[in-house]
Structure 1
């Protein structure tokens, strides 16, 4: 069986690569569980200093696997997707994303929790929660307005607007723009090595300080969004929207 997420640890740099190319790296329950386990293990492993997450050259992630959501919807806040969110929010080691191609739904909201986001020109960010009859998740209803302001956030969360890699940098959702996926991942690894050259305990303490100021508020938001998301999954309009796309 092919690994759904490829783990590569090299001299303290852990690279996690989504590996479901036939499904555009859409995340199912097994992937949420595996990614959560890998990140939890990385947080406890003294050999891991910096983490890079990527989907490869073609696609970061098409977001949630819609068929899996229909067949195995999250039923409570202990479901794999919500456990993953808590692990990501608690991570005190630097997390860098290298994004090429589509980053849809949680493929974009995950980026809000990364310390650095690098994109290629092929990157396309979109959060189509409303068209699917759902609502924002992973703290995006809190973090995006603070980062972008209400009007731009509304364009993304209410109007389902797509952002190119160049626009993502211009709007402040990403730090760097690169020509292609190979350059993007190479730059992410170079940035990771810069972070590795710094005193590691000071780095982790500093990240905790950056995150702790709003941690309680963010955790409350993620829970509120999550409960509403679960509720929305059972509504007729969400079921109809998801089934229409799965049929296609």
Structure 2
């Protein structure tokens, strides 16, 4: 069974996280498959809209932490970078559908989507600080501009979860709806977008995306610091504690 399903119907491509038994935690292969799916959608003359959604009751648990820790200074970086650059560079309209919990990159990727619809009970968390890490993929650039410096600092420095309504208030989420209405809401929005004139729709996205070069530059800058953070004693202690299901040693996590 593929952990990423890619399905195309008319002008709409669906990228579906399909690993519900592992809470849709992302592996190297999953990142690469998503990257390839985005690039294929971008190359398609027919495709106008990409929907990113997930099976199960959790959108994404972030990275598969065992593989993440095992790669030292290269935590899926090639595949993750490929996916995130494909998402940033995607010329088609990207719509995310989020139910349940979005952890780490499960939230980070939403910053690079055009529209985000969430269930009213969805929760988001950027827990990097709790792993001895720093923000990723330009979240420290985008979030202050989206949510304000104070809110961004709270989310990134405390690493605590926040809800769909708070996310909607600052623009991370376009709209929050009851979970039983979410799929229908996203499908209707995607159909409306697909009915728009291609040139006007895609050029509107391009005009809105006029900070892409700055975002790309900040992505690379953050990545250098992220890799450096991976090598710190605090990060190594956090990963070891997680994998061995024990409490963090405060003498090493400082």
Q: How does 1:51-62 map to 2 (within 5 A)?
A: 51-62=50-61
TM-score, scaled relative to structure 2: 0.92
Q: How does 1:230-241 map to 2 (within 5 A)?
A: 230-241=227-238
Q: Is the 8 A contact 1:77 1:223 kept in 2?
A: no
Q: What's the RMSD between the two structures over aligned residues?
A: 1.6
Distance 1:21 1:176 in 2: 24
Distance 1:163 1:139 in 2: 19
TM-score, scaled relative to structure 1: 0.94
Q: How does 1:41-60 map to 2 (within 5 A)?
A: 41-60=40-59
Provide the residue aligned with 2:242 in structure 1.
245
SS of aligned partner of 2:158: coil
**Structure 1: which 4+ aligned runs deviate by more than 6 Å?**
none
Distance 2:192 2:157 in 1: 38
Specify which of 200, 203, 226 is matched with residue 201 of structure 2. 203
Q: Is the 8 A contact 2:23 2:56 kept in 1?
A: no
Deviation per CA, 1:198-241: give whole Å up to 9, x if none. Answer: 11122111111111x21221111000011111111122211110
Offset at residue 149 of structure 1 (A): 0.8
Task: Return 48-57 or 100-109, whichever deviates more.
Answer: 48-57
Question: Quick one: structure 1 residues 25 and 109, their matched pair in 2 at CA, closer, same or farther if it must change by over 3 Å?
Answer: same
Structure 2 gaps, min length 5: 246-254
Q: Is the 8 A contact 1:139 1:222 kept in 2?
A: yes
Provide the residue aligned with 1:168 in structure 2.
167
Q: How does 1:85-164 map to 2 (within 5 A)?
A: 85-164=84-163
Question: Quick one: structure 1 residues 219 and 121, their matched pair in 2 at CA, closer, same or farther if it must change by over 3 Å?
Answer: same
Distance 2:220 2:140 in 1: 12
Question: Quick one: structure 1 residues 50 and 130, their matched pair in 2 at CA, closer, same or farther if it must change by over 3 Å?
Answer: same
Provide the residue aligned with 2:21 in structure 1.
22
Distance 1:216 1:112 in 2: 15
| Count of paired positions | 245
Offset at residue 166 of structure 1 (A): 2.1
Question: Quick one: structure 1 residues 78 and 160, their matched pair in 2 at CA, closer, same or farther if it must change by over 3 Å?
Answer: closer
Structure 1 gaps, min length 5: none
Distance 2:155 2:172 in 1: 12
SS of aligned partner of 2:92: coil
Higher RCO (C-alpha under 8 Å, 6+ residues apart): 1
Offset at residue 56 of structure 1 (A): 2.8
Quick check: 1:10 aligned with 2:2?
A: no
Q: Is the 8 A contact 2:117 2:177 kept in 1?
A: yes
